[in-house]
Structure 1
Amino acid sequence: MGKKNPYDFTIIVTVALLVTTGIVMVFSSSFSYAMVVMGDGYYFLKRILAWAAIGTVAMNFCARVKYWKWSKYANIILVGSILLLVLVLTPLGKEVNGAKRWIGVGSITVMPSEVAKFAAIIFIATSVTRKKESMQTFTYGVLPYLLIAGMFFGLIYKQPDFSTAFVVTVVIISMVFVGGMKLSHFIGLAASGFIGLASMIGYIFISGKGYKAKRITAFLDPWADPSDSGFQAVQSLLALGSGGLFGRGLGRSVQKHFYLPEPQNDFIFAIIGEELGFIGGVAIMLLFMILIWRGIRIAINAPDLLSCLMATGITTMLIVQVVINIAVATSSMPVTGMPLPFISFGGNALVVFMASMGILLNISKYTNMNRS
């Protein structure tokens, strides 16, 4: 390994700002809901503070563990994540709002799909590094990872959770591409994926059955049915629009008062836009852009293929989730459940992202680049 450098200070500061913003906005957006439903206005605040503390410990731990040591446990992590995904579909899984995505006892729960993201990054990076000579072939270099992606997609989609299944698949394909996949193979897979996705959306739309069809029609015209299928999109747009340039002011959101369902989760960006305005929303996006920029630079300047692939997977996961969440909040794509990294309420997601940033920080110690 090369000479050690200091941790990438920009990542540390950016993550700290995003997490702090998330804690403040979770409290602001959830107080009314928590007071009425939970009987405690500080319900979500206390939990996000606890998860942020756990995430900080996880980030510190992963930053101290030499990134190549994760390869020793890649197979165990993969098998463990698959077992958790299988268990969530058994009676051990907890169902909330029609989705079965959690395993747990009482108030302590684990979301296996979040663990799957982390496991996929570690395993794919390790496996591709070990067989990089075969990556130019489809049968031995690409097909095995397509099967792994398909397995993850199927298990997560079954919950159902299409957005997370999509994220895991995109992360795996991006890592395999960077790991040496032929451009022709990548173009073929991208075209096949696009055709498959378009066909699935078309079938859902034409059949007009189920909540998925309603989400597609609501995306095309949310104002056609503002009280039912288009309700979430309309309320999100109203929140963003009423915020104006500078916002109503922190804590002064109207839409969080039982207009926008569970505003501390998937639609927290809409509350940010309402309370902090266009300026606040742009500031959050700039923080994400800085974090993505540092992740890309670390991947490009990584000391070896393993670290490059890990950084690629982590950065891709961040990019896809940020784009999907903000696109949903702005009605630029159909409504789907995808938390905003570091900001939305969700302990498992917060810990996984902070742990991933810890790995990125460790890689940065062995990466030679301008840290200004």
Structure 2
Amino acid sequence: MMLRRDVDTSLLVLTVALTCIGVVMIYSSSAIMAEERFHDGFYFLKRQLVYTLVGFILMAAATYFKYQNWRKLAVPALLGSIFLLLLLFIPGVGVRVGGALRWLRIPGLTLQPAELVKLSMVLYLAHSLTRKKEKVRSLSKGYLPYMIVLGLLLAMLLKQPDLGSAMIIAGVALGMLIVAGVRWQYIGLTVLMSLPVLYFLVMQVDYRRRRILAFLNPWEDPFDTGFQIIQSLVAFGNGGIFGQGLGIGEQKLFYLPEAHTDFIFSVIGEELGLVGVLVVAALFLTMVLCGIRIALKCTDPFGRNLAFGLTLLLGLEAFVNLSVCMGLLPTKGLALPFISYGGTSLVVCLVSVGILLNISSSTGGQP
């Protein structure tokens, strides 16, 4: 399936570049570990290549699927993702890894419903905000219904537990509501009321409290709670300006936890150095600017809301992952879009780009 020629070529090139970087770095960061665990150094690479192929096929399909049609699918998609979240709690269906119940076991693969929830929530909000128009400024008819839906989703995510995805979804939802014209007073009051809840969720749960303390002073417990942050910072330090060289990094050798997923950016820092770090960060920043440009050029309110929501989702996830790896935010298990190992995340990101490309085609693509 060929991509349309009237799409934003800059966004397309950025997406291909980030995905290719991801494939290369997944192999570099996982080969030795995969050889020891599975006796196959290409174990993760082969699976990521399959996910990449599926993702690009779906992305190409999304460029031809008129974005207006997503309005009809918005509510069913949200309900479907909620159903998948409920399936997690059925014994034998949900897969618990590291104490978290975040994956569904499907014959031949595992699925992470939280990634689908992120996309479906953006679709739902874009559709509903467009339909309500000026009513979004009303507390009872506009704002509270969204908070009820958002609260339900966050409660289910926290039950897994998955605080990272919950905060991403909350951030994207509030961002879309602000852009749609919701009163700032409502947003501010919601944030203030959420602070005690957030404090309880963090400080009253042992492992989360320890992560916060480790973030503030990782050297106080360098072999336990501070281990991840310290090893990540060591990786960046080892990389210097130009890096140790692709495949030569040492921190991925059982020092850096989840080197091919949550902390793959740290591997980039060690092997490709400051130059590689700046290139990846610049690619994400440029992608966000492309998404904002698409949103601003779109004259259709639904397309504008959808483009902004998808851009915010991709940009916020990238920002949080990069910040965690560099020790600017507490450790949280979130994938780096397009680059981290993981099928559901990659496919959802590529489909999101496909939708953005279709929106861009309606405004004439890129000159």
Which residue matches 1:69? Answer: 69
Identify which of 277, 290, 294 aligns with 1:281.
277
Q: Give the residue type in structure 1 aligned to 2:222.
A: P
Structure 2, unmatched stretches of 5+, are none
Q: Is the 8 A contact 1:174 1:312 kept in 2?
A: no
3-state DSSP class of the match of 2:110? strand
Question: Residues 1-372 of structure 1 correspond to what in structure 2 (within 5 A)?
Answer: 6-91=6-91, 92-194=93-195, 196-197=197-198, 199-200=199-200, 204=203, 210-367=206-363, 371=366
Q: Is the 8 A contact 1:30 1:262 kept in 2?
A: no
Q: Structure 1 residue 356: deviation in Å?
A: 0.3
Q: Structure 1 residue 183: deviation in Å?
A: 2.7
Q: Give the residue type in structure 2 aligned to 1:156.
A: L
Change (3 A) 1:136 1:368: farther
Distance 1:141 1:20 in 2: 42
Q: Give the residue type in structure 1 aligned to 2:87.
A: L
Q: Is the 8 A contact 1:301 1:368 kept in 2?
A: no
Tell me the alpha carbon deviations over residues 313-371 of structure 1, each in whole angstroms, 9 at most, x when there is no partner.
111111211111011101111111011000000110000000000000000011257x3
3-state DSSP class of the match of 2:362? coil
Tell me the alpha carbon deviations over residues 262-289 of structure 1, each in whole angstroms, 9 at most, x when there is no partner.
2000000000000000000000000001
Q: Is the 8 A contact 1:243 1:274 kept in 2?
A: yes
Distance 1:13 1:316 in 2: 19
Which 4+ residue blocks in structure 1 deviate beyond 2 angstroms? 183-197
Distance 1:190 1:299 in 2: 26
Distance 2:305 2:200 in 1: 30
Tell me the alpha carbon deviations over residues 93-113 of structure 1, each in whole angstroms, 9 at most, x when there is no partner.
011111110111354111110
Distance 1:54 1:368 in 2: 27
- So what's the TM-score if we normalise by structure 1? 0.94
Q: Structure 1 residue 302: deviation in Å?
A: 1.3
Change (3 A) 1:106 1:73: closer
Distance 2:39 2:100 in 1: 24
The CA RMSD over aligned residues, in Å, is 1.6
Distance 1:42 1:74 in 2: 38
Distance 1:367 1:183 in 2: 30
Distance 1:101 1:30 in 2: 22
Between the two proteins, what is the percent identity of the paired residues?
A: 40
Q: Is the 8 A contact 1:253 1:271 kept in 2?
A: yes
Change (3 A) 1:36 1:5: closer
Distance 2:53 2:232 in 1: 30
Q: Structure 1 residue 82: deviation in Å?
A: 0.4
Q: Is the 8 A contact 2:6 2:364 kept in 1?
A: no
Structure 1, unmatched stretches of 5+, are none
